Chains A and B, each alone.
Chain A
């Protein structure tokens, strides 16, 4: 039931908060002031004092709650239905993790109190690092990067520090043409030039082409494995050997770790550095865009470069002080966060790891692979799969044939919204035309997968009958297709009173 108010020329689902309320509303009540009250003019020079307080809303609490509740109702979310977004691992967010991350013993800690007053927090960080180490086969893990992209930057800076210590910082980082956009962006931020290497017809890195591209100016190679097509790089050992022959480090973008836990350990395969995404593989919620967490693991020999401080444990220290933040790291790359990273996200990931245990995590990956292959098999009659053979935890469809009939990947995505299902990732990876990247994750039941298949089947049928109709999609969502050109040309990113 959507009630739209008419305002001027545009109907509106929900007014902005600035249009609600009454001028002069006092707002949330503060505790009684039991010390002398001092106004700004008593405390500061007149020149420093603001003339008018900022124009924040003047709304009662019930109105605030109602406003944001109505906004909430406009959102699709994974608690409601499947989000088969490739590369995002939209698995179920366990509610116990939310509860545990709200414990006052975690939320109420200032980061600069004495280490002795946060032994439990530091222990959690040390334990989590150890579990991620064990999972990945990496010697040491930093939890500081607050997102995957930040982890990539951290990894690239570690590579730079290592090469610089060897006497030759080098200039290039090689990435496959199927790489996620953050890869070239992160390596550029770290001061490297991106060099692309081609994928072959089977969707995997073309090893011969790769051999030509890597040379002694290559600092690192960034690889996603399984790759962004959901295909395991079968010749990864060879690829890593070629890189190592030239003295380049090999970085694993761990976004697709959900396919490999307990099955393949990146450290054992030969990767030097990798990042994890706690908000993907380890069930922490996406939050509508964040917060995430992107820990980075390194092989032995690279530990000195990790960001500072390093949560540590030393059994020889006195009781109550065994856990501490080690700030004495002279070769550290520095810091990629003001403090220790997104701690509460780590709490959730830690709880998730314990809930599953080693065998359970392996089971998670197996089920992820199973679900993806099932979905692929069921969808293959209706849409072209980008590459033959088994996939891992995700796969890519191409909407090239529908495009010829008049319905592009974008249109299919929008029509899926009408079926109450979030669209898969579209137009990525770049190497597949009209790509639809699908990752169900292991937490989808067979019934849920079948309903997704049914929706896709019905869309395939609609494309045959009347592809043009998809251009009107979505038609059952709170708003229809939005004019993105207008949004870019007539920039409106801040509400002006009087709009």
Chain B
């Protein structure tokens, strides 16, 4: 081959690389390992984790332990999908393109909005992108964020807005839900308002009041929603939300230690040109056959460069496919049933846990799939001690707000059996009665 190229030694191909820049020593990286050895090493690492099945976990907060039907993985494992490139050459990418078009349709139907994009990195970055999109629409200078929005979302939002002239304003909560009255007084024209529903405490927010307040004051409402909750709760289109985002992990993705996840974003037809990310559209080919292409590409970085609606290039394409397959397998009826099961089990868990002395629900409002339990012992201690029993009882709410460090966010899915839930309740109850208040 060197001969065909016309050089004598390989090093001749490095003539553009100055000698003094070339590495003089070899890389200190272990290997090469055979497939058997690599497998052994990674299996050993995997074995030092306690995943579902080993640890009985009630942790939620955006990532949930749902059952994923085998057919989802069967399809996403098809090399035609997972080894394919981004569908820039549409004629040989119709499989990817049509399945994402179907995903977009499902997200639009869930949220009640007109259009959706082909995915963003996760729910947190989706919220940040939506805030920037909203500011672009209103030309406002302020983003109002209730303290009931998840801390991970608030962190990413703050990072994405680092250099923006926009001010991040926190809206207070009352009894775990956004203070709609305070919000109404605070909102000004052109403000972008973010609402999480259900919120970081699992509680349903006063969406109608918030929507009305934002509309009255001429603001723009972004709803960050739990996609499964949309099976049974009013969609954001019905409380005046112009943009809706969320974390799609519960739509057929593994928990995966937090990634890859699936951000979604939907909006009204009016704002479609301001949407970040890829959008797949239908069209026809030279023979009049229906086909799909990436459309409105002039919004994107590869064309618009510095003026693009976002810098996003690679998104979460394969996860969007997983979600489309998952939602197709559950179907209209199964999706609703899953939500009913989840909500029923969550209610049962709340009752079973609070039946024990010393354990109570921290907030009064209605919840969908997760709720906050107040304990006399710091949540961090509860978590640490229950590890011994093979249980993760939920998320330490001290991470949401320092005053809530004796609270746990307990999340239940359709996978948790009555016995699992009873086991959790008993373990919490035993711990409390043993230790009393510290």
Contacts and interface: CB of A to CB of B under 8 A. Distances in A.
Do the two chains touch directly in the complex (Cβ atoms below 8 Å apart)?
Answer: yes
Contacts of B118: 289
A56 B415 contact: no
A35 B159 contact: no
Contacts of B430: none
A493 B104 contact: yes
A300 interface: no
Nearest to B208: A47
A25 B28 CA distance: 58
A336 interface: yes
Interface in B381-406: 383-384, 387, 392, 395
Contacts of B87: 288-289
B254 interface: yes
A340 interface: yes
Interface stretch (A187-195, A243-251, A462-470): A187-195
B343 interface: yes
A83 interface: yes
Contacts of B158: 334
Nearest to A425: B88
A492 interface: yes
Contact of B29 (A308, A338, A357): A357
Contact of B32 (A16, A184, A357): A357
A120 B47 contact: yes
Nearest to A51: B234
Contacts, number: 692
B29 A135 contact: yes
25 contacts: A10-B288, A12-B290, A13-B289, A17-B324, A27-B334, A40-B343, A50-B233, A68-B99, A74-B92, A75-B95, A104-B51, A113-B50, A113-B59, A117-B392, A135-B29, A186-B311, A264-B17, A285-B82, A288-B96, A289-B86, A291-B259, A344-B256, A361-B27, A374-B4, A493-B101
B282 A190 contact: no
A150 B277 CA distance: 13
B40 to A, nearest CB: 10
Contacts of A492: 281-283
B295 interface: yes
Contact of B155 (A57, A147, A335): A335
Contacts of B84: 75-78, 286-288
Contact of A338 (B115, B125, B325): B125
B291 interface: yes
A480 B255 contact: no
Interface stretch (A92-100, A205-213, A400-408): A92-100
B59 A495 contact: no
A345 B29 contact: no
A237 to B, nearest CB: 7
Contacts of B82: 77, 93, 98, 285-288
Contact of B256 (A59, A80, A189, A343): A343
Contacts of B305: 181, 184-185, 194
Contact of A390 (B16, B153, B160, B291): B16
Which 4 A/B pairs are nearest by Cβ-Cβ distance?
A191-B163, A357-B31, A27-B334, A105-B46
B156 A149 contact: no
Contacts of B79: 77, 79-80
Contacts of B116: 493-494
B431 interface: no
Interface stretch (B133-141, B187-195, B314-322): B314-322
Given A18-B102, A61-B71, A493-B295, 11 more contacts: A26-B337, A35-B421, A40-B339, A71-B99, A75-B93, A105-B46, A105-B48, A112-B395, A116-B387, A289-B119, A390-B12
